[in-house]
A and B are shown apart, each in its own frame.
Chain A
């Protein structure tokens, strides 16, 4: 399911107002955004009834800890490495909503000592692709913590992440008055169709998905909420060449010093209040940013797309994305002669896909 919300930004992006790019939103827009934020918070608050706490380890959360929030569905294959990666980065507690998984996702998570698990069988789409549930958990547990909000197929990295863990980074961000760090979602893929690869649990997905698009991304600013709208990459190249406007959104804000007054709007692409979206630097310097290594294209992507299409829980009931899902089901090969083998964060900094800023 985590594959789906990354196209959920599309409708709102159609509202883009080009003429007003130079000035910030006026008082009326700001007021409307405030109402929107309140409405989303209220939705999140209401959605708590849909969640059932099945494995409660929240008593172990300490005030200064870094917390991770995620909604998952049938991610037993990815989760072992996912948990390991974020533990290694310094995440102390995981708060995860299991949306009615049918594999052993729930058992796996319940067995982990640092995971609190909620179960729900409510509709994913009606919960704004899981965001309502996470909004509630963030209100309830995230206030005052540095929080990581990601999907199970997203691995956060940032400059020097091997030697400097999230506590270092968040202390630094605190010191420099930044409440959020942006990250670009980078699609990784193998050479050859995804289903012809083999991946074992607990394996680093980067060992299977060795390639990425080093170039071919384009960014524009959306004046309404001040967020960046970054698109491109292999999915734009392979599936949306005819209609680039609908290509998946790649900018995310995974790392936020949360306040119970905040809310994400479309997946984690943008948030309210709008200041949170200013993860990029305007006067031409660079701000520290990360990359979410997107491991969607592990084996099984086609089955998953088929299942999602049947469940009708994805964004594309409007038929706009049927072709996209159809292509995924056909087990495509994203590799191209211009693809670049992935070698680590230094490479991504050099390419400009992420930046160290002052960090």
Chain B
């Protein structure tokens, strides 16, 4: 009992020849089908080159165009020939010219010897698998597809549209249940001959001739009729990318293929000398006698495919430049933007850095340049603090900063005095955590030594800017995590918001806060606001501040003591 190989060849005849010799050397009879589009001369040379091998037959040639009946016709003819010419063959293995045996052929023979009744053919009903590409799943069995998809795309599409409009629905003959699966199978003589000698074969062939990609459904469907013991998996390792194109294996896949323990792999790059050398020459084989394990390779591929199809969030480069709002993630990692905290607390930045371990910057979008943490003039990879460079493309500045520092949480201060160009971008970024104490911009004004007229003008400007920013943050488009307190609200109970922010930033502070930042002395702030009001400029963003709130209460009387809340 042995294994017969049916091999479909269309390009890279040199490699096909090498593989045929390999199969033949192990004593397998081989039936070869060469695509009709191969020129006569090339074909003759190919036949002559293999003339010395025993148990080789060449079968009638069909034109094998992707997705058409020719491939099935070729397979049928070659299989019939195989069964009739080599009566001792028990299993027939369908392979292509670009398939490469990964394990010694003897191991495959032994493996099949132990499973004499088993058909290895991947076969699943269309309803249950998400494999199909291009929106044609059940329809490939209910419409007609006389036009080749690759060459006559326009006609193909039009004809599909027409049939849909006319609600054409073909009937599947003989109560067959359409199944699909990998084109590469290994069937027993019993099953294969039952399919090929079926009295209703003409009817089935007529039906499948107009099905789309019949090579993935003809044998897969009919095997279900006769097989005694179907193992619904292919012994041939083949991977497909997200477009449904077969993945090609190159030299650098050598180790991966070794680890797969599969018997055969496709598709192999014809010039992958290392692969052909490694797998066709060392007869001993580097692999252990184990069950094929495509799962290992599957996992590696699935991970890579996911990474590649979704792209890396926050990367804007030549490879990837999503349109605004189409991004899969605006930035690469979570970050925090604080507005008003550095104004209200004297040592907010060092305190935050200490309690979270994050990198805490000053006002990154300040008019005089980016205030990076620790006074650096450049961040990772020469992201310059120059205001000109930053304002040239502020969005890129932000996305670059977050991309450049992946792995380290970034926090920065913001305020109405800064460049406001990024407001929408940040508000729409799910990675952003925005905390705002509205009206806190008034604190530095209150503490400066400047003419009141100038202060009044500046306050009006800042209030307008911040108010616009708050409108952005309150819009329905916001995807960031936004928290807004009025200043009055915040200083009533600052601990809870601070604890909340820290908890969200990270698990670095499991315990309750032991140290809190020091709030600036607000004595007289209520009066300052009242003065602004008296000048006709109504500061409303900071909430309700009684004129004497901070001025007279005992706790706030001694500014040298830190503000503590328990």
Contact of A338 among B245, B317, B382 (CB under 8 A): B382
Which of B92-100, B396-404, B456-464 touches A? Answer: B396-404
Chain B proximity of A209: nearest CB distance (Å): 16
Is A175 touching B245 in the complex (CB atoms < 8 A)? yes
Is B317 touching A184 in the complex (CB atoms < 8 A)? yes
B315 located at the interface, meaning its Cβ lies under 8 Å from any Cβ of chain A in the complex: yes
**A175 vs B243: C-alpha distance when bound (angstroms):** 10
A234 located at the interface, meaning its Cβ lies under 8 Å from any Cβ of chain B in the complex: yes
Known: A218-B396, A280-B319. A286 touches B404 (CB 8 A): no
Interface residues of A in 16-37 (CB under 8 A from B): 22
**A354 vs B310: C-alpha distance when bound (angstroms):** 15
| Interface residues of chain A: helix, strand, loop or mixed (majority) | loop
Is B397 touching A358 in the complex (CB atoms < 8 A)? no
For B251, what are the chain A residues with a Cβ–Cβ distance below 8 Å?
163-164
B454 located at the interface, meaning its Cβ lies under 8 Å from any Cβ of chain A in the complex: no
Chain A proximity of B268: nearest CB distance (Å): 12
Which of B290-298, B384-392, B445-453 touches A? Answer: B384-392
Interface residues of A (CB under 8 A from B): 22, 160, 163-164, 167-168, 171-172, 175-176, 182-184, 213-221, 228, 230, 234, 236-237, 241-245, 251, 279-289, 336-340, 352-358
Is B388 touching A358 in the complex (CB atoms < 8 A)? no
Chain A proximity of B301: nearest CB distance (Å): 11
Is A218 touching B322 in the complex (CB atoms < 8 A)? no
Contact of B383 among A171, A215, A220, A354 (CB under 8 A): A215
Instruction: Using CB atoms, name the residue of chain B closest to A287.
Output: B319
**A68 vs B328: C-alpha distance when bound (angstroms):** 37
Is A283 touching B388 in the complex (CB atoms < 8 A)? no
For B308, what are the chain A residues with a Cβ–Cβ distance below 8 Å?
285-286, 356-358
**A354 vs B315: C-alpha distance when bound (angstroms):** 10
Is A284 touching B252 in the complex (CB atoms < 8 A)? no
For A215, what are the chain B residues with a Cβ–Cβ distance below 8 Å?
379-383, 400, 403-404
B502 located at the interface, meaning its Cβ lies under 8 Å from any Cβ of chain A in the complex: no
Contact of A168 among B243, B271, B326, B397 (CB under 8 A): B271
Is A216 touching B317 in the complex (CB atoms < 8 A)? no
| Interface residues of chain B: helix, strand, loop or mixed (majority) | loop
**A163 vs B383: C-alpha distance when bound (angstroms):** 34
B316 located at the interface, meaning its Cβ lies under 8 Å from any Cβ of chain A in the complex: yes
Encoded as 1 (CB less than 8 Å from any A CB) or 0, chain B from 234 to 247 comes to: 00000001110100
B378 located at the interface, meaning its Cβ lies under 8 Å from any Cβ of chain A in the complex: yes
Is B400 touching A182 in the complex (CB atoms < 8 A)? no
Is B317 touching A217 in the complex (CB atoms < 8 A)? yes
Instruction: Using CB atoms, name the residue of chain B closest to A185.
Output: B318
For A219, what are the chain B residues with a Cβ–Cβ distance below 8 Å?
316-318, 321, 396
Chain B proximity of A71: nearest CB distance (Å): 23
Contacts A183-B318, A214-B404, A284-B328 given; 14 further ones with Cβ under 8 A? A164-B269, A215-B379, A217-B400, A218-B316, A218-B392, A219-B318, A220-B393, A241-B386, A244-B389, A244-B393, A281-B320, A282-B326, A336-B378, A358-B242
Top 3 nearest A-B pairs (CB, nearest first) are A215-B381, A218-B396, A355-B319
Q: Which of B315, B320, B378 has the most CB of A within 10 A?
A: B320
Interface residues of B in 356-411 (CB under 8 A from A): 378-384, 386, 388-389, 392-393, 396-397, 400, 403-404
**A99 vs B241: C-alpha distance when bound (angstroms):** 45
B233 located at the interface, meaning its Cβ lies under 8 Å from any Cβ of chain A in the complex: no
Q: Which of B269, B381, B388 has the most CB of A within 10 A?
A: B381
Is B388 touching A160 in the complex (CB atoms < 8 A)? no
B248 located at the interface, meaning its Cβ lies under 8 Å from any Cβ of chain A in the complex: yes
Interface residues of B in 179-213 (CB under 8 A from A): none
Contact of B318 among A22, A164, A236, A251 (CB under 8 A): A251
B512 located at the interface, meaning its Cβ lies under 8 Å from any Cβ of chain A in the complex: no
Range, interface on chain B:
35 or more
**A128 vs B251: C-alpha distance when bound (angstroms):** 42
**A338 vs B383: C-alpha distance when bound (angstroms):** 9
Chain A proximity of B116: nearest CB distance (Å): 39
**A286 vs B381: C-alpha distance when bound (angstroms):** 22
B312 located at the interface, meaning its Cβ lies under 8 Å from any Cβ of chain A in the complex: yes
Is A160 touching B250 in the complex (CB atoms < 8 A)? yes
For A241, what are the chain B residues with a Cβ–Cβ distance below 8 Å?
384, 386, 388-389
Encoded as 1 (CB less than 8 Å from any A CB) or 0, chain B from 527 to 550 comes to: 000000000000000000000000
Known: A216-B400, A234-B382, A241-B389. A285 touches B250 (CB 8 A): no
Known: A176-B243, A241-B388. A281 touches B321 (CB 8 A): yes
Chain A proximity of B381: nearest CB distance (Å): 3
Q: Which of B309, B318, B386, B400 has the most CB of A within 10 A?
A: B318
Chain B proximity of A147: nearest CB distance (Å): 19
Instruction: Using CB atoms, name the residue of chain B closest to A250.
Output: B318
B113 located at the interface, meaning its Cβ lies under 8 Å from any Cβ of chain A in the complex: no
For A358, what are the chain B residues with a Cβ–Cβ distance below 8 Å?
241-243, 305, 308-309
**A215 vs B243: C-alpha distance when bound (angstroms):** 32
Contact of A172 among B248, B315, B327, B403 (CB under 8 A): B248
B566 located at the interface, meaning its Cβ lies under 8 Å from any Cβ of chain A in the complex: no
Would you list 24 pairs from A and B whose C-beta atoms are within 8 A, ordered by A residue? A164-B250, A184-B317, A220-B393, A237-B382, A243-B388, A244-B389, A280-B319, A281-B311, A281-B321, A281-B322, A283-B326, A284-B311, A284-B328, A285-B310, A285-B320, A286-B312, A286-B319, A287-B320, A289-B318, A289-B319, A338-B382, A352-B315, A352-B319, A358-B309
Is A280 touching B382 in the complex (CB atoms < 8 A)? no
For A355, what are the chain B residues with a Cβ–Cβ distance below 8 Å?
311-312, 315, 317, 319-320
For B152, what are the chain A residues with a Cβ–Cβ distance below 8 Å?
none
B323 located at the interface, meaning its Cβ lies under 8 Å from any Cβ of chain A in the complex: yes
Is B397 touching A218 in the complex (CB atoms < 8 A)? yes
Instruction: Using CB atoms, name the residue of chain A closest to B305.
Output: A358
For B269, what are the chain A residues with a Cβ–Cβ distance below 8 Å?
164, 168, 171
For B397, what are the chain A residues with a Cβ–Cβ distance below 8 Å?
218
Chain A proximity of B320: nearest CB distance (Å): 5
Instruction: Using CB atoms, name the residue of chain A closest to B329.
Output: A284
Known: A215-B400, A216-B381. A285 touches B311 (CB 8 A): yes
